[in-house]
Amino acid sequence: MTNPLVGPRMPPAFWSRPDVLRALAGRDAGTLFSLVRQHTGASQQAIGAAVDMAQPHVSAIMSGRRAVTALETWQRVAAGLAMPSSARRALGLAMPSSARRALGLADAEYSADDSWTQSSMGDLWSASRTAQDIVEITLKDLMKRRDAFAVGGALLVGATLTETLEHWLLPRAAAPGNGRGGIGESELRRIESATVALRHWDDRWRLGVRRKAVIGQLSEVSELVGVPQASSVQVRLFKVMAELSKIVASMSFDAGDHPTAQRYYTLSLRALHQAGPEHRVYGLGVLADMARQMLDLHRPDDALDISRLALDGAAGAPARVRAMLRTREGWSYARMGRPEAYHRTVVQAEDLLAEGGSEEVPDWVGNFDHAELSGVVGARYRDLAASREDRSARRRHAESSAAYITRALRLRDPARKRGRAFDLVGLGRTYLLLDEPAESARVVREAVALERSLGSGRVRRRLSDWYTESAAHHRDPEVAEVRDELSHTLLHHQRNVKGMT
């Protein structure tokens, strides 16, 4: 958030200077910042604090290595530097309507250059805007201190979210890149190999220095995109940025920082949009993760909209990818308490997975196998059981849940510890619905042992769900023992960890 009270204070005459007016008319942020520094003595850090930019980003703008083109960024600059109406008009910005009303001013007095405003609003999915936004968020993320602020802003939900994501289906205007940057094939391969290594880090580690390493690599690649490269090079760099953004998003999601996770997921989609239609299948995985996030936030309507958007773009995608998307759709129906719709999607997912048994699939969907499908289906039957008032229906769904999750545990690769931990906690919660507290405590104790080697925020949140649901059985000695262990170890740690390192 911009804060003009802590930023540089310019005298009114400053905004009437010819050199300032030239900078505003030319939308030259570098010159404007230099003039602010020259006439107020403000540091780059002070300017950055005023306009909500990291100091390295301010430095890059002042040196000419970066330009400000986006409307919302100019709006932050205008607000942070407390521009008067005359300066805003020179820049082509309208004063916010709330400020006009507070001052009793007419809208017509402060009309903006509409052609520039509309084109800037419409370039959210352009190559230059996507790269610039990734530069901004990564620099801010790398510089933030623990508990300082969340880089993701507000969480988007409802029509605002889905209408933003629908742009992913539109064709891009033109392939990015028309320069002759100095990145060669060997360096490109090195960057892509580093991305593969960081992807495997995401399989094992979620927070801390490792997250900073992924963000740092993403920041460096986005800086390379800022230098005009050949089209073929730019496309590959955007694919790398998409994958790195998705990794950071999943780490943020695991830590429970949903606004930041959502912003990185969206940036991943925007980078894929520039990488071209040949990478659309990877975008289906990003949308699947975003639907999963909405389910974690108990927003099944939004999850269903995102799942349908993904399915709309899934024509020609491998059957296993479409099966995974059907599980997201079915998960949404289960959370809505719609058993018939859920059963239908389960059958569709099972048929698609069987159909795609021997086809070649992308690495990121390779983990979606019969074990994963059984675990997801079983957990959703538990959701249906928990929502049923009729005792017979409740027990029928709970028995289906136990059967599917038991099958998942039998099929699960022992190396997939996080998936196994989810299965165990899910089975423990199902046993509570079946009124078998001792069995519930037994399998949850196994999950607790696994979680100690995982450090997964999502697994801890599921253990917290079990802890809440098991309160009714707190007199059972085995349940009481596991609850006591959780309250003094994993859940105690979760309550006392704020933010991310």
Radius of gyration of the chain (CA): 26
Cβ-in-10-Å burial (0-12, 13-18, 19+) of 410 comes to exposed
**Residue 379 reports pLDDT greater than 90:** yes
Q: Which residue has the tokens 């099972």?
A: 350
**Residue 169 reports pLDDT greater than 60:** yes
The mean pLDDT value for 183-189 works out to 77
Confidence of residue 117 (pLDDT cuts 50, 70, 90): very low
The mean pLDDT value for 73-80 works out to 83
Reference 381, options 415, 407, 414; nearest CA is 407
Ranking 21-30, 283-292, 422-431 by mean pLDDT, the lowest is 21-30
**109-121 CB burial, b ≥16 within 10 A, e <16:** ebebbeebbeebe
**Residue 316 reports pLDDT greater than 70:** yes
**287-316 CB burial, b ≥16 within 10 A, e <16:** bbbbbbbbbbeebbebbbbbbbbbbebbee
Give the integer Cα–Cα distance in Å for 79 and 87.
Answer: 11
List all residues 6 or more positions away from 275 whose beta carbon is below 8 Å from its beta carbon: 235, 236, 238, 239, 242
Q: Please tell me the predicted confidence (pLDDT) of residue 468.
A: 92
**Residue 150 reports pLDDT greater than 70:** no
Give the integer Cα–Cα distance in Å for 93 and 112.
Answer: 5
Question: Regarding predicted confidence, which is higher, 403 or 454?
Answer: 403
Positions of E strands within 324-432: none
Q: Please tell me the predicted confidence (pLDDT) of residue 200.
A: 66
Give the integer Cα–Cα distance in Å for 271 and 283.
Answer: 10
Q: What is the 3-state secondary structure (H, E, C) of 385-414?
A: HHHCCCHHHHHHHHHHHHHHHHHHHHHCCC
| Domains of the chain with CATH codes | 1-94 (1.10.260), 158-419 (1.25.40.10)
**Residue 3 reports pLDDT greater than 60:** no
Phi and psi at 411, nearest 5°, equal: -90, -20
Confidence of residue 179 (pLDDT cuts 50, 70, 90): low
Q: Which residue has the tokens 């993760």?
A: 289
Give the relative orientation of helices 339-355 and 319-335 as an angle to the nearest 10 degrees: 170
The mean pLDDT value for 331-360 works out to 90
Confidence of residue 110 (pLDDT cuts 50, 70, 90): very low
Kindly report, residue by residue over 405-427, the tens digit of the pLDDT. Answer: 999 999 998 888 889 999 999 99
Q: Please tell me the predicted confidence (pLDDT) of residue 146.
A: 43
Instruction: Say if CB 150 and CB 259 are below 8 A apart.
Output: yes
The mean pLDDT value for 231-255 works out to 89
Give the integer Cα–Cα distance in Å for 112 and 482.
Answer: 63
Residue 181, SS3?
coil
Give the integer Cα–Cα distance in Å for 88 and 94.
Answer: 6
Residue type, 353: L
Using alpha carbons only, what angle is made at residue 371 by residues 366 and 372, rounded to the nearest 5 degrees? Answer: 60
The mean pLDDT value for 437-449 works out to 93
Counting residues of the chain whose pLDDT is more than 90, the rounded percentage is 37
Q: Please tell me the predicted confidence (pLDDT) of residue 403.
A: 96
* Highest-pLDDT range among 127-131, 225-229, 331-335: 331-335
**Residue 268 reports pLDDT greater than 90:** yes
Question: Regarding predicted confidence, which is higher, 306 or 356?
Answer: 306
**Residue 95 reports pLDDT greater than 60:** no
Q: Please tell me the predicted confidence (pLDDT) of residue 180.
A: 64
Residue 227, SS3?
coil
**Residue 94 reports pLDDT greater than 70:** no
Concatenate the DSSP letters of all residues of 33-56 into one string. Answer: HHHHHHHH---HHHHHHHHT--HH
Q: What is the mean pLDDT of the chain?
A: 81
Counting residues of the chain whose pLDDT is more than 70, the rounded percentage is 83
Q: Please tell me the predicted confidence (pLDDT) of residue 77.
A: 87
Residue 284, SS3?
helix
Instruction: Say if CB 49 and CB 6 are below 8 A apart.
Output: yes
Confidence of residue 467 (pLDDT cuts 50, 70, 90): very high
